A and B are shown apart, each in its own frame.
Chain A
């Protein structure tokens, strides 16, 4: 069945780089697009970026200078890297897939705290 699972460090120090992995199963990264969405505690959802099925990427303009999304199709993994982290980057980070239907399957999310 379709599954997405985010993984990564729960705690990151300010100014450091966040690295997250989204491991998928039940579908191919060369057929579906994978988006990243984050949610600060008690706040709303923010779209971050997308890895298109053809390997191209698009980013939220507000995060573009700090954000990089890549993938390893052989491992069914999509990676998110975000640099220069600040406390306001504390959030739950989700990956979700899209084809004809937007964000139909989501991972459980991974909580990341930015703190020294």
Chain B
């Protein structure tokens, strides 16, 4: 399964509502996770099984979707959220999307 993330680069301001998209080449059956990676760090799990928030992750992060189309939403952007975000499917094999880099406008 191939994953396509859009946009590849997103400029936003602190306080903005931000939406990141991930589209699969086949049905992912909700086995979709989201990771945040800051420069020089390992990825951090934010969301798994489409909409389950990992322990310790702020509630401003949420996930949704079904079938082939999934979304990560940050309800109100904080400065510490500036990072690259990857979606990851584990329904049929294991694949990462190409990433969306979130930067300050």
In residues 66-90 of chain B, which contact A (Cβ within 8 Å)? 86, 88, 90
Q: Which of B48, B88, B94 contacts A50 (CB 8 A)?
A: B94
Q: CB-CB < 8 A to A106: which residues of B?
A: 42-44
Instruction: Mark A residues whose CB is within 8 Å of B.
Output: 35, 37, 44-47, 50, 94, 96, 101-104, 106-109
Interchain nearest-CB distance for A35 vs B (Å): 7
Instruction: Mark B residues whose CB is within 8 Å of A.
Output: 33, 35, 37, 42-45, 48, 54, 86, 88, 90, 93-99
| Contact flag A44-B98 (CB < 8 Å), given A101-B48, A102-B88, A103-B33 | yes
A108 touches B42 (CB 8 A): yes
B45 touches A44 (CB 8 A): no
Q: CB-CB < 8 A to A44: which residues of B?
A: 86, 96-99
CA distance A45 to B97 in the complex (A): 8
Interchain nearest-CB distance for A46 vs B (Å): 7
Q: CB-CB < 8 A to A108: which residues of B?
A: 42
Q: Which of B35, B37, B44, B45 contacts A101 (CB 8 A)?
A: B45
B96 touches A45 (CB 8 A): yes
Interchain nearest-CB distance for A33 vs B (Å): 11
Interchain nearest-CB distance for A110 vs B (Å): 11
Besides A47-B95, A104-B54, 18 more A-B contacts (Cβ < 8 Å) are A35-B94, A44-B96, A45-B35, A45-B86, A45-B88, A45-B99, A46-B96, A47-B93, A50-B94, A94-B42, A96-B42, A102-B33, A102-B48, A103-B35, A103-B43, A104-B45, A106-B42, A108-B42
